[in-house]
Amino acid sequence: KQEVTQIPAALSVPEGENLVLNCSFTDSAIYNLQWFRQDPGKGLTSLLLIQSSQREQTSGRLNASLDKSSGRSTLYIAASQPGDSATYLCAVYNNNDMRFGAGTRLTVKP
Amino acid sequence: EAGVAQSPRYKIIEKRQSVAFWCNPISGHATLYWYQQILGQGPKLLIQFQNNGVVDDSQLPKDRFSAERLKGVDSTLKIQPAKLEDSAVYLCASSLNAGGAYGYTFGSGTRLTVV
């Protein structure tokens, strides 16, 4: 059974810092991995989707990497802004099933 | 492209009452999912539909939860009777196909509070 872990559970940084969020999964036979952002009380907004054959994806200040063999993914946020404050969730897809981590709650202080 | 629509946005009910949530997926998306997200946790799959058929409902508490997608488009999730532990955000998602190759798109969710 796939287990997805996100570390740290919470992170607080000053504005302008570069930061890395981590996601690990136990079953490396994944089809793809997706990073989401969730604002309080809201639904999930897709940030980046990495197929199993890919190593990374970039969108603006966000860069996500995938290392299937080690069961890890990282989400890199450059030059963080207060508007980046949210919970970031990673989800892995395999065997017709998507499993989520519990998320990292990010606070960017002005 | 219109996103995944969900209603209502919020619902407060007393325990033992019933409640229903509605979801309209992105047009053309064959696969629809209902997730339950308890505060501080990641979403947990309740049920997955492929068109109007159920693909996976192994984690759906069938004694109180039911869901349908009769015409293969919109879907309804019902809880009857509700318990305090059902307080959560209920998220609907859709994808182009069951393979998930294009990722999932989520709606804004329905926040349910059972008192």
A79-93 per-position pLDDT tens digit: 999 999 999 999 998
Two structure tokens written together for A49? 């989707």
What pLDDT, in 10s, does the model give residues B43-52? 999 999 999 8
Chain B positions in Cβ-Cβ contact with residue A100 (cut-off 8 Å)? 42-44
Q: Determine the pLDDT at residue A85.
A: 98
Mean pLDDT, rounded, of chain B = 93
Q: Determine the pLDDT at residue B72.
A: 85
- Of A24, A42, A90, which to mutate for an interface test with B (greatest number of B Cβ within 10 Å)? A42
Contact between B42 and A44 using a beta-carbon 8 Å cutoff: no
Tokens 């989400």, residue? A75
B114 CB-contact burial (10 Å; exposed 0-12 / middle 13-18 / buried 19+): buried
- Of B9, B21, B38, B104, which to mutate for an interface test with A (greatest number of A Cβ within 10 Å)? B104
Sheet holding A19-25, edge to edge: A4-7, A19-25, A72-77, A62-67, A56-59
Contact between B40 and A102 using a beta-carbon 8 Å cutoff: yes
Q: Determine the pLDDT at residue B1.
A: 60
Distance between B103 CA and the closest CA of chain A, angstroms: 7
Contact between A45 and B56 using a beta-carbon 8 Å cutoff: no
Tokens 């984690």, residue? B59
**Sequence-separated (6 or more) residues with CB below 8 Å from residue B24:** B4, B5, B6, B73, B74
Q: Are A65 and A73 in contact (CB under 8 A)?
A: yes
Judge whether A52 is closer than 8 Å to chain B, CB to CB.
no
Contact between A101 and B42 using a beta-carbon 8 Å cutoff: yes
Distance between B88 CA and the closest CA of chain A, angstroms: 10
Chain A positions in Cβ-Cβ contact with residue B41 (cut-off 8 Å)? 102
pLDDT in tens, chain B (115 residues): 679 999 999 999 999 999 999 999 999 999 999 999 999 899 999 999 999 899 999 999 999 999 999 888 999 999 999 999 999 999 999 998 766 667 889 999 999 999 9
DSSP A20-71: EEEEEES----SEEEEEEE-TTS-EEEEEEEETT-SEEEETTEEEEEETTTT
